[in-house]
Structure 1
Amino acid sequence: MEETVQRALVGINRGATGYARDGLDRVKVDVGATVALADAGLLERVLANLIDNALRYAPNSPVRVTAGRIGDRVLIAVADEGPGIPAGEQDRIFSPFQRLDDRNTGNGVGLGLSVARGFVEAMGGTVTVDDTPGGGLTVGIELAAPESANV
């Protein structure tokens, strides 16, 4: 996970997501030695999109990327302390061509989260959206963990 998250951050810094991002120093990574069964390239794209969105929609907020193993699953979270999403709107943000409040925040047509969900589901995982305790948004990814805890 550590290498994949770092590659995602490098991609954001180089503008690979379409948005050259200032403020990468706001991203705090705590994934330890967690290993997930996933396509590293697809997971990198998903994380780059989620982190980029958090930086963009919560511009004055720290962004935390965490991961840990629970049983046979790996839980990854990208959390911010921004404005969050109104109740009932969580699933709508994953619809193609949809952006929160349809705000024009720069480039993009609102495909990122739809594609991210598709990538995660293609890897046998799920994506969820929850409120961050204290305010903000947390996007969770659940993927399979390797059979051996020593991997």
Structure 2
Amino acid sequence: VLYMIVHPNIQEKVYQEIKYKVGIERTPTMQNKTQLNYLNAVIHETQRLANIISLGVPRLTSVEVTLRGYTIPKGTTIISNLDSVLHNTTTWGDDASKFRPERFIDENGKFNVHEEFIPYSLGRRSCPGESIARTELFLFLSSMF
């Protein structure tokens, strides 16, 4: 919500998208999610920049691993730095610290999720609430307009 307040132009774009694709006489539902590309981009950009969990779930290596010339012994605890991935300038560009939802919109105007977008971590031990969180974020933000 704060990003929308600070960026009224983005707020207006979301409003216009909802107005023209869903209408203002009703609240958007999950069936409308695929139609609202820009709103989805805003949600993803917000999660990318304002990630609430900066470190992933600790994991143990099940075998000895060599990564970029470093040997990681079996049984080593590994903790991923999600902030490093979500703010990486190589992936997100030199403006990685700026709020720019367009980075999730492809050249055809479609919503596009990058594989580096991992605010819920990855694998079998990723956030168990990811599905409900995505649903609630969409329903909450779309109903504000």
TM range (shorter): under 0.3
Task: Please report the TM-score for the alignment, with normalisation by the length of structure 1.
Answer: 0.26
